[in-house]
Amino acid sequence: MKSLKEMFIGEVVAEAVRRAPEGRAPRVMDLGCGSASYLPSLFNKYPDIEYVGVEPIKASYDKAAAVVEDLPNAQIHYQLGYDSVPNEVEGSFDLVFSLSVLEHVKHLDKFIALSAKYVKSGGMMVHRYDLGHALHSHSLKEKLHVIMGNHIPQVLPERQFVRYVGVPEVEKCYTNNGVKKTKVTYHQMPNHKAFEKIVGSIEPVEELFAWEMEFQTDIDQLPVKEKETLFPAVAVWGEKV
Ligand X SMILES: C[S@@+](CC[C@H](N)C(=O)[O-])C[C@H]1O[C@@H](n2cnc3c(N)ncnc32)[C@H](O)[C@@H]1O
Size of the site for ligand X (CB under 6 A): 19
Give, as ranges, the residues between 127 and 156 that touch ligand X (CB under 6 A): none
- Rg of the chain over Cα atoms, rounded to whole angstroms, equals 17
CA angle, 148 as apex, 144 and 149 as ends, to 5°? 115
Shorter beta-carbon distance to ligand X: residue 9 or 208 = 9
Binding status of residue 41 toward ligand X by CB under 6 A: no
The residue from 57, 184, 219, 230 that contacts ligand X (CB under 6 A) is 57
Closest approach of ligand X to the CB of residue 22, in Å:
30
- Backbone phi, then psi, for 16, in 5-degree steps? -65, -35
The residue from 7, 28, 52, 99 that contacts ligand X (CB under 6 A) is 99
The CA-atom distances, in angstroms, between 114 and each of 111, 126, 190 are 5, 13, 31
Using CB positions, name the residue nearest to ligand X.
34
Helix (H, G, I), strand (E, B) or coil at 30: strand
Binding status of residue 100 toward ligand X by CB under 6 A: yes
H/E element, 182: strand 179-187
CA torsion sign, 209 to 11 to 60 to 233?
negative
Measured distance CA(57)–CA(61) in Å, rounded: 6
Measured distance CA(113)–CA(91) in Å, rounded: 12
Shorter beta-carbon distance to ligand X: residue 161 or 222 = 161
Binding status of residue 32 toward ligand X by CB under 6 A: yes
The residue from 31, 49, 52, 85 that contacts ligand X (CB under 6 A) is 31
Shorter beta-carbon distance to ligand X: residue 74 or 99 = 99
Stretch that binds ligand X, among 13-21, 33-41, 117-125, 183-191 (CB under 6 A): 33-41
- Backbone phi, then psi, for 199, in 5-degree steps? -75, 140
Shorter beta-carbon distance to ligand X: residue 157 or 168 = 157
Binding status of residue 56 toward ligand X by CB under 6 A: yes
Helix (H, G, I), strand (E, B) or coil at 219: helix
Binding status of residue 162 toward ligand X by CB under 6 A: no
Measured distance CA(61)–CA(56) in Å, rounded: 7
Tell me which residue of 151, 153, 150, 144 sits closest to 163, measured CA to CA. 150
Binding status of residue 179 toward ligand X by CB under 6 A: no
Closest approach of ligand X to the CB of residue 64, in Å:
9
Q: Quick one: how far is CA 35 from the chain centroid? A: 14
The residue from 17, 28, 80, 131 that contacts ligand X (CB under 6 A) is 80
Binding status of residue 33 toward ligand X by CB under 6 A: yes
Question: Could you list the residues that contact ligand X (CB under 6 A)?
Answer: 31-34, 37, 54-57, 60, 80-82, 99-101, 104-105, 111
